[in-house]
């Protein structure tokens, strides 16, 4: 669990991404987050936090561009599965976004029930289209559920990041507060729910997540292959190589 720290505040677990200043999402972080989610199964609620500058910068491109298709397929399956596990966690969850949360950072944030972001020039959203890859299938579904189809299409098709004010206006986040209070705000929200009877809340969350759960199980593998086809296309490999140089 070296890259994901676990802390308990009463009945609420705090999971903090701790993979350096930028919290890039690579194989080790995915493994540690998966393990952390399993470890907190007895908690009544969970808050996912990152760093002050970056909640997460997104995928660890310098690591991932070195992988062949089999290696990338293995990573991608585990990454999407941990996002699915976070989304379906049978307890109230919130993302405390004090720093930037582009791409994979927003994948994790959208998988939570609530999202609170710090004020200022913090960027959220999905720029995958600019790198020649589709937004993860499950994240596309989540964003459409959260913001509505028309708004989600605009966000995904254009690939532009949103500042917190814009993200709040379109419903992508649930609140914007001073960065220093993001964690406590998220904790207060989840603590206000954590005292309710667990089975009742779990049943209601299962209803909320049912549509996406069923679509993921039906189409997830096929969509993963489509992603991999895009990732390993000649055009995308050139775009990814250029992005690595700026990483």
The span from the CA of 202 to the CA of 180, in Å, is 31
Segment 148-181, tens digit of pLDDT = 999 999 999 999 999 999 999 999 999 999 999 9
For the stretch 11-56, pLDDT in tens is 999 999 999 999 999 999 999 999 999 999 999 999 999 999 999 9
The pLDDT value recorded for residue 1 is 64
The CATH homologous superfamily for domain 4-194 is 2-enoyl-CoA Hydratase; Chain A, domain 1 (3.90.226.10)
Joined together, the tokens standing for residue 159 give: 């690939």
Residues 6+ apart with CB under 8 A from 223: 137
160: left (phi over 0), alpha (psi -120 to 50) or beta: beta
Tell me what pLDDT residue 247 has.
83
Element at 45 (helix H, strand E): strand 45-49
Q: Where are the domains of the chain?
A: 4-194
DSSP output for 57-87: -EE-HHHHTT--HHHHHHHHHHHHHHHHHHH
Please give the Cα distance from 38 to 29 (Å, whole number).
14
Give the pTM.
0.96
């Amino acid at each position: 669990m070296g890259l994901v720290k676990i802390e308990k505040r009463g009945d609420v677990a705090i999971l903090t991404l701790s993979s350096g200043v930028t919290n890039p999402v690579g194989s080790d972080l995915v493994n540690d987050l998966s393990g952390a989610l399993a470890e907190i199964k007895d908690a009544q609620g969970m808050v996912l936090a990152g760093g002050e500058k970056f909640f997460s910068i997104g995928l660890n491109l310098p690591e991932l561009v070195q992988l062949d298709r089999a290696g990338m397929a293995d990573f991608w399956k585990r990454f999407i599965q941990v996002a699915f596990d976070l989304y379906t966690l049978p307890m109230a969850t919130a993302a405390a976004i004090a720093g930037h949360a582009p791409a994979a950072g927003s994948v994790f944030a959208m998988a939570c029930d609530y999202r609170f972001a710090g004020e200022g020039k913090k960027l959220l959203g999905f720029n995958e289209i600019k790198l020649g890859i589709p937004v993860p299938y499950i994240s596309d579904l989540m964003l459409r559920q959260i913001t509505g189809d028309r708004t989600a299409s605009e966000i995904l098709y254009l690939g532009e990041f949103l500042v917190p004010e814009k993200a709040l206006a379109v419903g992508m986040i649930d609140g914007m507060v001073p960065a220093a209070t993001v964690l406590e705000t998220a904790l207060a929200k989840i603590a206000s729910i954590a005292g309710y009877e667990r089975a009742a809340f779990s049943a209601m969350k299962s209803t909320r997540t049912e549509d996406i759960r069923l679509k993921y199980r039906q189409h997830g593998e096929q969509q993963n292959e489509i992603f991999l086809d895009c990732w390993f296309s000649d055009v995308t490999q050139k775009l990814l190589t250029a992005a690595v140089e700026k990483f």
